[in-house]
Structure 1
Amino acid sequence: MEKSVILVLFLLSLTCPKGLGQENPFLRDFLVRWDQSKAYLLAVAEAMPEENYFQPPYPEGKSFAEQLMHIAVIIDWHAFSKFGGSEAAIRWEDFREQGKNKAQLIHEVAREFDRTKQLIEGFDPDKLDETASYGKFSRTRRQFLLLLADHVTHHRAQLIVYLRLQNIQPPDYINFQ
């Protein structure tokens, strides 16, 4: 009886799909960093008081809220259009900050991190070397993930400057390694 239970469990494990992206060392490592990047960005977003979310630091600058939505829309575009291959246009209108509060903005950013994680977990690693256009450049799907991570880091750093301009101590980066 015990052997038959073990055999059934083994056979079930063969039929249950695993995330393809988790089997690839690059994608596996990227997902670890992606989760840490999300946690750090959300900590930065939580640190800013809501009353400071909508005022740009200088007249032609983006507000804290606009920066968050910019991060979210580019996550969506890089992940699904460029990395995922749908080749869709950037969905600017779906990621506006108007009429949203701090909690809603943070939720939207977190949702894009989570959607992207799911995409990567199910991604076929054999497609990492496929290319897509990016302006006048051609990039591999692997490079699009790296560009995506760089973009988040770039704008998160701007949000940290916004915190500093408000004399707010940002979350310590070392806690998100």
Structure 2
Amino acid sequence: MSISEINEWIGQTPVASEHGGLVDHMLGFVHWFMLVLGVGWSIYLCIAFYRFRQKKTPKADYQGFQGHATTHIEIGVVIVEAILLLGFAFPLWSRQADEYPTSPDTIRMRALGEKFLWNFQYPGDDRLISTWSSVNVSPTNTTGKDLHDPNGKDDFISLNTMKLPVGRPVIVDVASKDVIHNLAL
């Protein structure tokens, strides 16, 4: 059984983005690792149940296993999890976080979250978006844009509705007024 078959079997949606294949591959690897880990610990648990059953040892055994096998197994699990995090997850995230579309038709916009709503700021005809600062946020300036920036004169704002053009790359700068928010596209 391949990683993609497991991903399909557990109900992952088909890849719909450029980097989705890498993410799915990493998730598949993590699922294989969790399967091996679960089977391994289940076998260990069955051995422990058998070895320490009441019929064999009527008195309590306060020593447990005398060997170092469990320590070595735990160290191995920690090493594999560190490799997963440092070797796969961080590089995958940094590759995605550092690569922005560079084509000339890329649209850059801003999403500013606040309690129970989102403010979306789009560039106007000049295709440039104004600078912003959290200091500038007010009831009349919901996105905190710099009112003196000439790039922001033709920007427009929508509330809770994000509309994106089909087939064009978009960079969304996400910020928040108050707490951490989740922007799902």
- The answer to whether the superposition gives a TM-score over 0.5 is no
Structure with greater proportional strand content: 2
Relative contact order: is structure 1 or structure 2 higher (C-alpha 8 Å, sep ≥ 6)?
A: 1
- Which structure's CA Rg is the greater one? 2
Given the two structures, how large is their TM-score scaled by the length of structure 1?
Answer: 0.28
If the length of structure 2 is used for normalisation, what is the TM-score? 0.27
